[in-house]
Amino acid sequence: MKRTILLWISLALMVTALYLIFVIAPIERTMGIVQKIFYLMVPMGWLALLSFLVVFIGSILYLKKRSLRWDILSYSSAEVGVIFTTLALVTGSIWAKPAWGVWWTWEPRLTATLVLWLIYLTYFMVRSFATEESRGATFAAIVGIIGFIDIPIIVLATTLWRGLHPGALIFQGGLDPTMLLTLIISLLTFSTLYALILMQRISLKNNEVEIKRMKELSQPFN
Amino acid sequence: MKFWHQVISITWKDTFSEIRTREVISSVLVFTLLVIVIFNFAFGANQETLRLVAPGILWVTFTFTGVLSLNRAFIPEKEQGCLEGLMACPISREAIYVGKMLASLLFMLIIEAIALPVFAFLFNLPILTLPMVTITILATIGFVAVGTLFSALAINTRAREMVLPILFLPVMVPVIISAVNASKMALSGKPWSELASWIQIIGVFDIIFLVVSCLIFTYAIEE
Amino acid sequence: MENVSYVFVAFAIVWAVVFGYILLLLNRQRRLQQEIDLLKQRLEDRKSGD
């Protein structure tokens, strides 16, 4: 029931967002139409961070309470998160080509996103390297906590590295109010989409756990 | 007070076994020197290039060294069953963390103390200055703060030696960036004010991760 | 590539990946549900058989 409502909300938001992006929002002076990728790129980056925040909270709760549902939350959010982080890198790269002429550049945001992507990867790797599943969950939780706390420091270091003062805005010249509205709607759209996908992934994971349990039940004498 | 007694005894135990055998410190030391020399062959066409890449070479070398020395902080213990024995004692997990962290810190600082002059000698750069020493000490603290946690985690996994660098390197990125940039400035003789922001980043990293790792450590080594 | 194409490619990739993933999840959900029903049936049979 909750999910159906969310589905309709996200569909409505998506249509609104697309309309705003392509019909209403003005074309930016210096960059032209390529700037519109921005309305994808920022939400992707935002979701990458939001997902990891959820991983962080889930990890702390898992370590404290030892209840499997928190691990399921963390794992699901990590899986969804790594997908969005990958998309953030891809859209960032597609933006970079017409904007700066190269497919990749070591500018602060892209670099920090790359490191975040790597941290997501280590989150999954440590699970597969563990000797048992519960150990894997604990270790992943540790990575989730350490990784998340590291993110602000990473952003700080990469921003300073490329010479930008950490308080610098994305655009010089501020943001046109229509653009701001479009951006906010895009963010909302993708956030609801994230919630939807996360819930779907969690119930899928719950089913996986359920099946495993039932398989063990149906073979009591191994 | 009891806490620090426990810490000191653990640190001393590790240090003492190292002093007696000297096997790890000599191999890590030789490795460090070799890496510096090989980097020189890789990059050092002329003095100009060397000057540019020197800070990077220095910190990549110390990163490799860090991984090696951190791996040895726990792996031999696990293999000889010392870790179980240690955990059976009424010692707080935090004390184990701090003790091991200090032992690794001491170990790495000794190696760096030898490697830095060699570096200065081979690269003709003013390494032995107060800024450089400060940067090295602070960055090393960062390394061992996170590294002790992750190497304790790594021993309970399958590909032990590989797990530590995989987990450890992305997290250390800000420290490495800051150390390299601060070193670059220190080697060019820039004043403290310019180095300040980099050193602050490393300092903040150290404090945050010392505390967090200490708190989480118990989950990494539990059975 | 013309600039507009970049915008198109970016949007296309994002939608493709997002909806592809959603479809993947829904598919696996369906298959897992079938498997759960099958296992439940088996457990029931075993219970009534004992």
Minimal C-alpha gap between C47 and chain A (Å):
10
The residue among B214, B160, B52, B180 whose CA lies nearest residue A160 is B180
Best of C14, C35, C44, C50 to disrupt the A interface (most A CBs within 10 Å) is C14
Contact B108, B65 (CB under 8 A): yes
Residues A153-211: tens digit of each pLDDT: 999 998 888 865 544 445 444 567 788 888 888 899 999 999 999 999 999 999 998 88
Chains C and B touch (3+ CB pairs under 8 A): no
Hey, are the CB atoms on A146 and B178 less than 8 Å from each other? no
Strands (E), B53-207: none
Return the domain boundaries, chain A: 34-205
- Which residues, 6 or more positions from C5, have their beta carbon under 8 angstroms from its beta carbon? none
- Which residues, 6 or more positions from B94, have their beta carbon under 8 angstroms from its beta carbon? B3, B214, B215, B217, B218
Tell me whether 0.90 is exceeded by the ipTM.
no
The residue among B164, B157, B136, B145 whose CA lies nearest residue A149 is B145
Mapping DSSP to helix (H, G, I), strand (E, B) and coil, where does residue B157 land? strand
Report the Cα A149 to chain-centroid distance in Å. Answer: 16
User: Amino acid letter at B50?
Assistant: L
Report the Cα B86 to chain-centroid distance in Å. Answer: 23
Of B149, B170, B208, nearest to A149 by CB-CB distance is B208
**A32 DSSP β-pair partners:** A28
Residues A63-88: tens digit of each pLDDT: 999 999 999 999 999 999 999 999 99
**Angle subtended by helix axes A133-161 and A68-100, to nearest 10:** 30
Per-residue CA distances from B184 to A171, C5, C36 (Å)? 30, 42, 61
Q: What is the pTM of this model?
A: 0.90
Q: Which two tokens stand for residue A152?
A: 């602000």
Instruction: Residue A200: list chain C partners with CB under 8 A.
Output: 22, 25-26, 29
Most confident of the ranges A11-25, A112-126, B9-23: A112-126
Model pLDDT, residue B44: 65
Subunits adjacent to chain A (3 or more Cβ pairs under 8 Å): B, C
pLDDT band at residue A146, thresholds of 50, 70 and 90? very high
pLDDT of C39 > 90? The answer is no
